[in-house]
Amino acid sequence: MAILLQTEAVERARLIAGISYTVDLDLTLGDTEFGSRTVVRFSCSEPGASTFIDLKAVSVESITLNGNDIHPSAISDGRLTLTQLQHANELSVTARMAYTRDGQGLHRAVDPADEKAYVYGMSFLDAAPQIFPCFDQPDLKAAYDLTVTAPQDWVVAGNSAAKQTSPGRWEFETSKPLATYFFTICAGPYETVRDEHRGIPLALHARASLGQDLRRHAPQMLDVTKQGLDYFEDLFGIDYPWGEYHQFFVPEFNAGAMENPGCVTFRDQYIFRGSVGRAEIMQRSNTILHEMAHMWFGDLVSMKWWDDLWLNESFAEYMAHRACSAATEFDDAWVDFGISRKNWGYAADRAPSTHPIAGNAADDTDSALTNFDGISYAKGCSALRQLALYVGDDAFVGGVRDYLRDHSYGNATLADFLDAISAHTDVDLDAWSKGWLETAGTDEIAVVVDGDPIGVVEAVRTTPEAHPADRPHMLDIAGFCGGKEVWRTPVFTLGATSGEETPLTGLERPKLLVPNASDLTWTIPVFDDNTLAAMPDELPKVEDPQVRQVVWAGLLNGMALSTVDPQTVLAVFEASFPTEENESLRHWTARLVRRRLGYFLPDAERQEATERIAVAATVALGAADAERVVTPGRLLAATSSDEGLLRRWVAAEDLPDAFAGDLDVRWTALTRLAQLGRADDAAIDEFAAQDRTMAGEQNALRAKAVRPTPEAKEWAWTQLESNAALSNYEALAIAETIFVAPSSELVRPHVERYFRVLPKLADRLGEFASQKIAAAAFPVGVTEQATSDAAQEALRSGRMTANVRRAIVDGTAELDEALASLQRFGR
């Protein structure tokens, strides 16, 4: 299919205006296709001109433009050419479209728990033409009149209010102006929980087999929804603009969620079916608020072109954490942001594929998607947080209100946003924008002290050599002894390398020196040797969770940059995990250390490291109260080598009470047994028979692929390479464990196969899914120079989409970081 160039979009927007769509979808035509009848009305500024509309159909029954028939052969490469346009035009298209299994377009999934089918629309980024013909670019907004025919027992919802006019027939109110990438329709025998808040109808939906879990979680999700609506309406000074507010938890969703106006879609793993910890509830709550923030910033006011996609996501990321912290029970949301989202962003910002937050020329839709990453989310959020500090919160909020009011139901640019902020402050934002938004890379900030007792404290900033920048930082630095804060001082750093000296005379030299102690800015904290040596003893005693989070940021990023020994990271984890009280820090350090530490250690030390992590999990589990056993319990199930314990847990024996009825922790234990070579196909199939759900099927694939035998790895590769029936989630499940092995020897022969097979998946599973699968399967565990060389050769000579290429570039960067660490610290 043709990729839309920005130059083509500009020209089409110059010609076309006044668009409206009348769309009629028939979802009763079978399991593979649906009917799409569309009338598009639009004006043309130059009668007689030509343009094109985007259409990706299986077959086309008829096309008429202004009463004249057009032969379907006029469609080429996903585009229908429109010639001899009049001032007012009417295009009518009747077509059949394909349901997908890759999470884009109109995705259809069958729940094996009850064989019920569910569909949902995902039009982002360029998938709307897989549902109906449209001028598919963000600045050609339009109103929609939608009708849908569906099976009579189905729930149907979309971007505006709908009513069932006859059995299986649904009519929607005319929508407010929408960009095409926001169009959605969700339909199926969904379970629904309804509520209302200040006149806004609210609804939560999930698959019928998740109905019990939906009802269990609904009160908390509805509370957060109401708190968010109140907070954002008050902050922005604009009432919620989209009428009803539906939240659908849908199967096999590629992202966390999608901000379709009035009808948000989420991955249905957020309807936790087993035990769940506070960190996961916070993550879901934050996602709910992130998508809600988009209802104003992104939906009400949309970008003109994809090069400003970062602003949508950075803003929603910032506002979600701000609202979560201020308006919900999760007042430690910024701690969660620092340990989870920022570490994702830091990794993206030090990779070869790094890019500025803004100013990235997206010449086409394909290149736009490659910058949809931790820089656009986490780093952009941090930049906006700095902007609010830099100009003052009143000026920031005043500018946001003006921006939303002045561009409602339209499109705007970064320049429009900065102009709105500038109107409320005398601060020059040009220099700020150049430093923060238009340069790549992450500064490092260290603390230097002079004298003992201290005479002077200085924050020293170093910019990346490859990406010099002069960006100001507003932050603080702090010192700790025995876990107690002995001093803290604000610092404003300027200049390329150094900040201001801050006199703090007569104070003792602390054992821990922590730059950016409140985590107010985007920087990697650098610790001196004394601080690193003291961390295993000192960090567990520090009372402030935000400081503990900043320390972990410095440790994990220092390990990636070869400035911190991986054994130091392991030692700090062993000392701090059993006593960590903040659930976000527990949850995310367990995930990050378990996932990344092994690659930075020689093969011979990896098993011992896993055993030490399991011991820390055992100690933490033994000391945890009933509400805090989830994270250490799951970590123990994933790392223990105690076959007896794992078998008892698989059999639901001796499990902590919090895991009663939890199939997922039992799957984790079974997968660990399979990884140890103690569970065969028969054992996996026997357990899968108890869990005939989508999650059960995916867990079974994951467990079979992780087995440490040549036959198991060959089976896994055959599935990825040849099984066209795999959904996006099933392929991802296999990819996640295909290179997990007790030694590199077992999987080394498949490194070449990765670079041959994975790029081809984009032809079958689309851009979103194939990028995730390529990232999950990247052979970083074969931590050898030959793997890096093979990756570089594939990047030089292989054919791959831009997003698969990005996944391989980033995977290679992580591999090269591990190789550098092994060279420096390997024993």
Sequence-distant (6+) residues with CB within 8 A of 406 are 416, 420
- Tell me the residue length of the chain: 827
The residue type at 748:
R
pLDDT value of residue 455: 59
Q: Please provide residue 250's backbone torsions phi and psi, each rounded to the nearest 5 degrees.
A: -115, 155
The predicted-structure confidence for 469-515, as pLDDT tens digits, reads as follows 888 899 999 999 999 999 888 887 654 444 444 555 556 678 999 99
Under DSSP, the state recorded for 377 is I
- pLDDT per residue as tens digits for the range 89-113: 999 999 999 999 989 999 999 999 9
Q: What angle do CA 748, 750, 755 make, to 5 degrees?
A: 120
What is the model's pTM?
0.96
- Per DSSP, the three-state class of 149 is strand
Determine the Cα–Cα distance for residues 430 and 435; give it in Å rounded to an integer. Answer: 9
| pLDDT band at 151; cut points 50, 70, 90 | very high
pLDDT digits (tens, 9 = 90+) for 361-411: 888 888 877 778 999 999 999 999 999 999 999 999 999 999 999 999 999
Average pLDDT over residues 406-422: 97
Token reading at 742: 């007790």
The set of residues, in sequence order, having a beta carbon less than 8 Å from that of 97 and lying 6+ positions away, is 33, 34, 35, 36, 56, 57, 58, 105, 106, 130, 131, 132
Residue 337 has pLDDT above 60, yes or no: yes
b vs e for 109-126, b when ≥16 Cβ sit within 10 Å of the residue's Cβ?
bebebeebbbbbbbbbbb
Instruction: Write the CB contacts of 172 (distance below 8 Å, at least 6 apart in sequence).
Output: 144, 145, 146, 147, 148, 158, 159, 160, 161, 162
Task: For 218-273, write each residue's pLDDT tens digit.
Answer: 999 999 999 999 999 999 999 999 999 999 999 999 989 999 999 999 999 999 99
Residue 797 contacts by C-beta under 8 Å, 6 or more apart in sequence?
A: none
In this predicted structure, the answer to whether residue 310 has a pLDDT above a threshold of 70 is: yes
Strand, helix or coil at 233? Answer: helix
Tell me the C-alpha distance between 98 and 34, whole Å. 6
Q: Which residue has the tokens 């550098």?
A: 820
The runs of H, that is alpha helices, within 340-379 are: 342-350, 365-370, 374
- The verdict on whether 291 is a catalytic residue reads yes
What's the rounded Cα separation, in Å, for the pair 248 and 255? 13
Q: Which residue has the higher pLDDT, 821 or 452?
A: 821
How far apart CA 634 and CA 668 sit, in angstroms, is 7
Neighbouring residues of 415: CB distance < 8 A, sequence distance ≥ 6: none
Rounded Cα distance, 800 and 806, in Å: 10
Q: What is the pairing mode between strands 191-197 and 200-206?
A: antiparallel
- Give the count of beta carbons closer than 10 Å to the beta carbon of residue 13: 18
Q: Which of 75-84, 172-181, 446-455 has the lowest mean pLDDT?
A: 446-455
DSSP string for residues in 293-346: HHTTBTTTEEESSGGGHHHHHHHHHHHHHHHHHHHSS-TTHHHHIIIIIHHHHH
Q: Could you tell me the pLDDT band of residue 1, with boundaries at 50, 70 and 90?
A: low
CA-to-CA distance for 116 and 143, rounded, in angstroms?
A: 32
The rounded distance, in Å, linking the Cα atoms of 547 and 528 is: 16
Contact predicate 44/53, CB 8 Å: no
Rounded Cα gap, residues 791 and 687, in angstroms:
37
Per-residue CA distances from 483 to 476, 486, 623, 705 (Å): 18, 9, 21, 45
Catalytic hit among 291, 538, 730, 784: 291
Query: What percentage of the chain exceeds 70 in pLDDT?
Result: 97
Domain ranges of the chain: 301-435, 708-827
Which residue spans within 712-771 are E strands per DSSP? none
What does the pLDDT read at residue 398? 98
Q: What is the pLDDT of residue 767?
A: 81
Extended strands (E) in 680-813: none
pLDDT, tens digit, for every residue of 784-818? Answer: 999 999 999 999 988 898 889 999 999 999 999 99
Mean pLDDT of 171-185: 98
What is the rounded distance in angstroms from the CA atom of residue 377 to the CA atom of residue 381? 6
- Of 475, 474, 555, 553, which is closest to residue 515 (Cα–Cα)? 475
Separation between Cα atoms, residue 770 and residue 803, nearest integer Å: 8
The domain 301-435 is placed in CATH, from the list 2.60.40.420, 2.60.300.12, 1.10.390.10, 2.10.109.10, at 1.10.390.10
Reading the block at residue 190, the tokens are 């969904």
> Max Cα separation, the chain?
88
Q: What is the mean pLDDT of the chain?
A: 94
**194-205 residue pLDDT tens:** 999 999 999 999
Q: Tell me the DSSP string of 658-703.
A: GGTT-HHHHHHHHHHHHHTT---HHHHHHHHTT--SHHHHHHHHHH
The answer to whether 185 touches 21, Cβ cutoff 8 Å, is no
Q: Which of 310, 277, 399, 314 is nearest to 656 (CA)?
A: 277
Give the C-alpha separation, 520 to 475, whole Å.
6
Q: How far is CA 180 from CA 58, 83, 139, 144, 428, in A?
A: 20, 22, 9, 10, 36
Rounded distance, CA 176 to CA 158, Å?
12
